[in-house]
Amino acid sequence: MNPQNNAEIPNIPPIFLKPFSAQDYENKLYAMWENSGYFNPDVCIEKGITASDAETFSIVMPPPNANGSLHAGHALFVTIQDIMIRYARMQGKRTLWLPGADHAGFETQVVYEKKLEKEGRSRFTMDPKDLYKEIMDFTLSNKSFMEGQIRALGASCDWSRALFTLDDRVIKTVYDTFLQLEKDNLLYRGARIVNWCSKHQTSLSNLETEHIERVDKFYYFQYGPFVIGTARPETKFGDKYVVMHPDDAQYAQYTHGQQIELEWINGPITATVIKDEAGDPEMGSGAMTITPWHSGIDFQVAKRHNLDYEQIINWQGKLLPIAGEFTGMNIKEAREKIVEKLAEKGLLVRVDENYTHSVPCCYKCDREIEPQIRAQWFVKTKPLAEKAVAAVNAKAFSFSTDRDERVFRDWMDKIEDWNISRQVIWGIPIPAKICVDCDAGMVDLANTVTECTACGGTVVADPDTFDTWFSSGQWPLATLNYPDSTDFKNYYPTSVMETGKDIIFFWVARMIMLGLYRTGNVPFKYVYLHGMVRDKHGKKMSKSKGNVIAPSEIQDKYGTDALRMALMVNNAPGSDMNLDPDKVNAYKKFANKIWNITRFVLSSTEEYQPNAPFTETDAEIINTILTAQITEISSLMDNNRFDLASERIYHFVWTYFADELIEASKPLLASTDVKVVQSQKRLLVTHLITSLKVLHPYMPFITEAIWQELPAEMKDSDMIMVAKWPGSK
């Protein structure tokens, strides 16, 4: 290219004389948008951009964790939601996208604990208040960093309404719900088997565990006249009940409650026969001993027959004094030694070396979960789940794919009570007193409870915090300021909940249950779930594999618009996608193509007349081809098929506009017939404006950068962000 030639063309703003460079524009343009106030629907109404009676479109943003950098999944969700929002805003809807930041309780505490570990410190030796303050400082500094990255992705969200999950309003909402649940008898505190992580020293919900398949040894021991099997000999010290199925013929001679003297690990014991349907005649010998404190099934058996419970393993994963000589040993090292001792005593029958089973582990540290009995707060979820299923039956909300709805229903059908207590510092304190003499708990928002209402015993403040998902589950209520705000009236239920399919149970299901519970209405009408972003070969991104693609690096190299397009094109809703830098590069080229299309159009449209009459041919192109293409694109967008719409737009701009229309225009522009030339100029400008508009939701920066350089007579608005979508009123 020879700049001198171009410099002679008066119509081209100088910026078009070099290739598009995203870095030169993005920050400035975002600041311009943000300063305009147009992210805020109230401002749009004030300034006459949006009609005051316009249809609303609202999204509550899933608040990113304020504990680190954004990853590719964040870039994907920001892109999808921003496309929805920008499209709605251009259609003249009253459009709200409400951002936030998540303190992310346990998650953040784990991140912070790793930091402490590196510094040779531990949360267990710290004053809880100091720890809380340190994590707060850490989180707040990360929060502003994270919000900067959201801005860099082009998110046109209303920062004036931003909320943090530890803000007073959130806490008030959560406390109100907690109290309401108690009043409605949907809340209880009781000793139940919980998933205990002995590294993180907290209980976890079932969803916070993952099952890891392992091959372990499976031992058979002589237990009096019975042979019992176990993979966990270290729990067997207290086993004094032997359970068999009531109908198991091989044990017909034994009666329920019968006592048997037998030799066991640390000497003679008296065992009691329990007939219970938990015993499976097909499994092993059909007889089993139970450890009610450390097994869910055993706990149920013990509950049914009112048996004793005894803790064998302490909270740190070490054996308690009941283990005799093994007291204080870590369960892993104790296992082999216990087996050795049983073998010496002649009680080891045989060992199955290839026992394959999956064991529940902490999803953060992979350490085996130790089931423990602990008094915790539980929400009775069945009544809440029934309402949620009724709502989906009544089509009060729907999912982007049928399979998501099936997955949702499946989980709702077999939902169990939800443990909402966590032994975590970094979270919202549970506003309750707990009894030190029994397991009772009393909701105590006003701090007036002085003794146990169940036993009259001494009470203390509950040291626990809420499961983050309990508060996140009320996020739409808190952000829209339930119950009396105008935002709540205007925007609840929101139009769309867009989030990752991996948190359909953690978050989406909980928001539906709690939203329905508090307001009687679903929190959103449509659930769009995106898949995971993987590396270019479909592998999960992880630091250890070294295949993590940081959005900020991609943005620096190729531009944010290119990243956004790469994330959208051919990425079907709900399925995982692979992010290949080569694909991003393809859309960087596309950005430059748009740049040069503009340059050509501007350089060819001196003395452009906005009202020049179209020739018959050109009118035909406008009325049929252009209209048809835009209708199709809008229709795909209305159906949330941004993957298909973006590909269509790409070809509309490159294949049709650039390769066909512009090439065809070259001889026509050279025509001696002024009418043909003027019509052609108007045709090119019309296509340019239309292209920029339909591209804008996907590639907001370059389209706005160009828009700002266009002569006033070509455009219908100062900013393309609030320009009218083609075909909309």
395-424: contacts with RNA (CB under 7 A):
403, 406-407, 410-411, 414
Q: Does 279 bind RNA (CB under 7 A)?
A: yes
SS3 assignment, position 283: coil
User: What length does the chain have?
Assistant: 729
The residue from 11, 36, 69, 206 that contacts RNA (CB under 7 A) is 206
Task: Look up residue 292 and give its two tokens.
Answer: 């009610």
The residue from 386, 451, 580, 718 that contacts RNA (CB under 7 A) is 580
The residue from 283, 390, 436, 628 that contacts RNA (CB under 7 A) is 283
Q: Does 572 bind RNA (CB under 7 A)?
A: yes
Q: How far apart are CA 243 and CA 230, in angstroms?
A: 13
Draw the binding track, 140-179, toward RNA (x: CB under 7 A; -: no contact): ----------------------------------------
Q: Does 583 bind RNA (CB under 7 A)?
A: yes
The residue from 70, 204, 597, 706 that contacts RNA (CB under 7 A) is 597
**How many chain residues bind RNA (CB under 7 A)?**
79
Q: Does 231 bind RNA (CB under 7 A)?
A: yes
Q: For RNA, which stretch binds (CB under 7 A), given 1-9, 153-161, 331-339, 691-699?
A: 1-9
State the nearest-atom distance from the C-beta of 639 to RNA, in Å.
Answer: 6
Write out the binding residues for RNA, residues 471-500 only, by CB under 7 A: none
Write out the binding residues for RNA, residues 621-650 only, by CB under 7 A: 636, 639, 641, 643-644, 647
State the nearest-atom distance from the C-beta of 219 to RNA, in Å.
Answer: 8
Give 596-631 as a DSSP string. Answer: HHHHHHHHT-TT--TTPPPPHHHHHIIIIIIHHHHH
Amino acid 183 reads K
State the nearest-atom distance from the C-beta of 534 to RNA, in Å.
Answer: 7
State the nearest-atom distance from the C-beta of 365 to RNA, in Å.
Answer: 16
The residue from 13, 68, 190, 284 that contacts RNA (CB under 7 A) is 284
User: By C-alpha distance, which of 477, 428, 437 is closest to 457?
Assistant: 437
Strand order in the sheet with 497-500: 398-399, 526-530, 497-500
State the nearest-atom distance from the C-beta of 283 to RNA, in Å.
Answer: 4
**Cβ-based nearer residue to RNA, 163 or 228:** 228
**Cβ-based nearer residue to RNA, 444 or 535:** 535
State the nearest-atom distance from the C-beta of 582 to RNA, in Å.
Answer: 4
SS3 assignment, position 37: coil
The residue from 56, 314, 327, 603 that contacts RNA (CB under 7 A) is 603
Write out the binding residues for RNA, residues 21-60 only, by CB under 7 A: 21
Q: How far apart are CA 106 and CA 364, in angstroms?
A: 9
Burial class (CB in 10 A: 0-12, 13-18, 19+), 199: middle
Nearest-5° Cα angle at 645, 641 to 650: 150
| Alpha carbon distances (Å) from 662 to 599, 601, 667, 678, 679 | 12, 9, 10, 14, 13
State the nearest-atom distance from the C-beta of 428 to RNA, in Å.
Answer: 23
Q: For RNA, which stretch binds (CB under 7 A), given 105-113, 167-175, 206-214, 609-617?
A: 206-214
Q: How far apart are CA 184 and CA 517, in angstroms?
A: 10
Q: For RNA, which stretch binds (CB under 7 A), given 13-21, 314-322, 378-386, 610-618?
A: 13-21
State the nearest-atom distance from the C-beta of 146 to RNA, in Å.
Answer: 25
| Alpha carbon distances (Å) from 282 to 227, 247, 250, 277, 287 | 13, 12, 11, 12, 10
Q: What are phi and psi of 656, to 5 degrees?
A: -80, -60
**Cβ-based nearer residue to RNA, 315 or 505:** 505
Percent helix, strand and coil across the chain, each to the nearest 5: 45, 20, 35
Q: For RNA, which stretch binds (CB under 7 A), given 53-61, 173-181, 423-431, 661-669?
A: 661-669
**Structure-token match 């005051």, residue found:** 52
**Cβ-based nearer residue to RNA, 156 or 571:** 571
Task: Look up residue 294 and give its two tokens.
Answer: 């450390």
Q: Does 311 bind RNA (CB under 7 A)?
A: no
**Cβ-based nearer residue to RNA, 56 or 295:** 295
Q: Does 462 bind RNA (CB under 7 A)?
A: no
Q: Does 683 bind RNA (CB under 7 A)?
A: no
**Cβ-based nearer residue to RNA, 162 or 288:** 288
State the nearest-atom distance from the C-beta of 122 to RNA, in Å.
Answer: 29
Q: How far apart are CA 582 and CA 560, in angstroms?
A: 14
Residue 384 and residue 519 in contact, taking contact as beta carbons nearer than 8 Å: no
Residue 186 and residue 368 in contact, taking contact as beta carbons nearer than 8 Å: no
State the nearest-atom distance from the C-beta of 406 to RNA, in Å.
Answer: 5
Residue 230 and residue 259 in contact, taking contact as beta carbons nearer than 8 Å: no
Write out the binding residues for RNA, residues 64-83 only, by CB under 7 A: none
Q: Does 578 bind RNA (CB under 7 A)?
A: yes
Q: Pairing between strand 432-435 and 418-419?
A: unpaired
Q: How far apart are CA 65 and CA 58, in angstroms?
A: 21
Write out the binding residues for RNA, residues 287-306 only, by CB under 7 A: 287-288, 295-297
The residue from 123, 364, 422, 588 that contacts RNA (CB under 7 A) is 588
State the nearest-atom distance from the C-beta of 723 to RNA, in Å.
Answer: 22
Residues ≥6 apart with Cβ < 8 Å to 202: 106, 196, 422, 423, 424
Write out the binding residues for RNA, residues 345-404 only, by CB under 7 A: 357-360, 403
